[in-house]
Structure 1
Amino acid sequence: MIKISVANQKGGVGKTTIAFHLANIWTEEGKKVLCIDMDPQGNLSSSLWPKEIPGDSLISSIFEQKEPKIIEKNGIYLVASDISLSVYEKDLSLKNYFRLKSWLDPIEDFDIAIIDCPPSLGLFTINSLMASEWVIAPVDVSVYALRALTDLKNSLKELSEIEKPPSLLGIVLSSFTAHYRASKVIKEHLEEEYKGHLFSTVIPASTKIREALMLGAPVWRVKGGTANIEESFRSLAKEIMERIKTKRRK
């Protein structure tokens, strides 16, 4: 199973948006996808499961040494999250950093696991990283997102002293507006600073993306959703898979 964390220590950079659309695309392609929401805000859960979430399907179960029940809607499988997860954030005993890995490792009947991380390097993000093989780091066109990306890179290096951390598969530039100078400057900086890591696909800025998440549908099923946004997400999904294949051959 391919295990991917979508992580950045800054909020609002498109982590949930990217996780949600990748899950929809790969499911459409016939892959069996498990989404794991490790963010107490539960935004991915709300988009994938708009109804009340059963209490036994929450990821917080792993911190109670219980098995969470995996739920399914529209072919996408989910272990959900809500604010109750935050109760466990201060229990920093070493075993708690490996709860997700211990639960996820024996599971074999999925092709891909996508883990949506909270915007901080705390217990839940470290759990996600330790359980993953790959990390995708979305960044928006702000200096704060760049600083958070540096923090994430340093954190992966520090985690290597404890256990083998996941590899940074790539960086996704989101909320991109081609005619804004700031967008171009940050893209050029990423291309220079993170050679070989920046995906060629960028996700354009659009209010339709936010609307899609609120409606629980990918952007191409939202009225007025533009074809270029759909193409961007599909291109990213393809690029991710191609990069994984290339790296595994090395």
Structure 2
Amino acid sequence: MPHATTADDLKSIPRHIAIIMDGNGRWAKERGLPRTEGHRAGADTVKRVTEGCGQLGVEYLTLYAFSSENWKRPKREVDALMKLLEQFLRTKTAEMKEQNIRLQAIGRLHDLPKSCQEQLHRSVEATSQNNGLTLILALSYGGREEIIDGVKSLIDSVERGHLDKAMIDGDVFSKHLYTRYYPDPDLLIRTSGEMRISNFLLWQLSYTEFYVTSKLWPDFDQEDLKDAIRDYSKRQRRFGGV
């Protein structure tokens, strides 16, 4: 019987993986189910993939959980997504503590319903002492919005006299983004075969390796994760050099 793949079987483990989790609605439609069931199945995949990343030694995992554009979806679907998020956080926090996963979140979090904000705060606090995988949920997140907020933060720092505008460079700007505490992603995975980044981490993905699979997110499993990492291991990252 073949042995289970471990981190030792993979040549190069990305330090930071970002994932655009696409295909929940299509998965549900193919099965004649409401879209909410696709999102529920997608939440199960989040658990599987997060555990897989922790076992393989990935340090950071950023999941595009809810975009700033997703607020335009029908109210019933948005409400269901917010309830699912709150339920996920409430029921999985104990497991994250046990598995040494530290939860973080980025985006315009103040746009979330108050009950979601409160549960998110409780879950982040409860896992704050963990030092294993850092799971970052991008919620009410948009890459353009993040850059705009970063520019506003820079202007504020200059106006307050905390920063000389002559000092502003890429590194300084990065420190004013939502992701200032995390390294840029090494690998971006997108499911469902779509060839776009959908306003996700526009600044941070400058030198990230992309991996696109036709698998819909609810069907994506730990073996698919390992396939993406194997493909990444074959790449030569030049960062603009030769």
**Greater RCO, CA 8 A, separation 6+:** 2
Work out which of the two has the higher radius of gyration on C-alpha atoms and give 1 or 2. 2
TM-score exceeds 0.5: no
TM-score, with structure 2 as normaliser:
0.31
* TM-score between both structures, scaled by the size of structure 1: 0.31
